Structure formats: C-alpha cells, structure tokens
Amino acid sequence: MPTGPDSFPASGANSLASIARRAVARAVDWALLGLALAGVAFVLSLDPLNGEPVSPGARAVALALSWALMNVVYEGVLTTWRGRTLGKAAVGIRVARLVDGRSPLWWQSGMRVGVPVVVEVVPGLLGAFAVGVIYWAAAWDPMRRGLHDRAAGTVVVNVR
C-alpha cells in the first residue's frame, strides 16, 4: 500500500493527478449533471395531475433530491464500473483503490460520492463551504486526496 507521494511515479500513468485536472473533471461532470437537471426542472415545473405550476418550495426540494440522486448514480456507477466519470475520462484521470490501484469497489465509490452529497443538502453558504472543504482538502494533502478520497480509501491518478 502506498505510504506517500513517493510511492507514485513522478509523471505519466499512475502518477498523482493534479488539482487542476481534478477541478476540470469535476466542472465537466457538474456541467453534464446540470444539463440533466435542467430537464428534470422542466418536468417538475408543472404538477402532472392538474397542470398547475408546482410551488417553489416543493420544486426546490425535488430538485435538490434529484441532484443528489443523479450524482450518486452517475458517479457511483461509472467510478465502480470504469474507475472514472466522463469528466475524468476527458482529462485523462481515474479513481483507484489506494491498496492495489484497481477501480474502486461499489462501497468505495458510494462513500466517495456520498460524503459530498450528504453535505450538499446543507442549505446556503454553509453547505457550499463544507463541500469546498471536502474537495479542496486535496490541495493540502501530500497524495492529493480530498476528504472523500480518504473516507473511501481511494486516490486519483493519471491514465497517461
């Protein structure tokens, strides 16, 4: 099991992914999920039983739950199956188990996406700040692991 950044190659395949690549991958993933959420928002704008507009409060709750569910399914399934999401594939990085470098097990992928998703439901700036702390903790970690990576026993590495 790797014990620090010196356990990884300095560059190329299986070297630690940069914070910049990880941020771009996250932005791509969130953009894709945002497009899907826009479709959900359209569907949720009217009550299917009477065609009347849905109340803003009910719509906000439905959208928050939809966002969380889409995140868990999208990231959880792709990370378990391929070791990476579409955003990570686009920038050439993948998630690996810290112990052996293979794709995460289902529970690791679930933990990895679950930690930020649970915090995202905290409303307002507090929730946004907490999610930022989870992801940006990687900037201060020697192996560039966010809190979600540490909880799941994973690390993000370059594919090429």
Secondary structure of residue 55 in the 3-state scheme: coil
- The pLDDT, as a whole number, for residue 76 is 97
Closest C-alpha among 75, 70, 144, 80 to residue 108:
80
Q: Is residue 18 part of a domain?
A: yes
Q: Is residue 134 part of a domain?
A: yes
The pLDDT confidence band at residue 104, using thresholds 50, 70 and 90, is very high
Q: Is residue 8 part of a domain?
A: no
Q: Is residue 7 part of a domain?
A: no
Query: Which residues 6+ apart lie within 8 Å of 150 measured at CB?
Result: 137, 141
Res. 54: pLDDT tops 90: no
DSSP state string for 125-154: HHHHHHHHHHHHGGGGSTT---HHHHHHTE
This prediction's pTM: 0.89
Q: Is residue 154 part of a domain?
A: yes
Q: Is residue 123 part of a domain?
A: yes
Determine the Cα angle at 28 with ends 114 and 94, to 5°: 65
How many residues would you count in the chain?
160
What is the rounded CA–CA span in Å between residue 74 and residue 76?
6
Q: What is the pLDDT of residues 5-25, one digit of tens each?
A: 889 999 999 999 999 999 999
19, 138 contact by CB (below 8 A): yes
Res. 3: pLDDT tops 90: no
Range of the domain at 92: 13-158
Only one residue has tokens 């990895």, namely 112
Q: What is the DSSP letter of 67?
A: H
Q: Is residue 1 part of a domain?
A: no
Per the structure, how many domains does the chain have?
1
What is the rounded CA–CA span in Å between residue 9 and residue 24?
22
Average pLDDT over the chain reads: 93
- The pLDDT, as a whole number, for residue 56 is 87
Res. 75: pLDDT tops 90: yes
Res. 1: pLDDT tops 80: no
158, 93 contact by CB (below 8 A): yes
The H or E element spanning position 155 is strand 154-158
- As a whole number of Å, the end-to-end CA separation of the chain is 21
Q: Is residue 3 part of a domain?
A: no
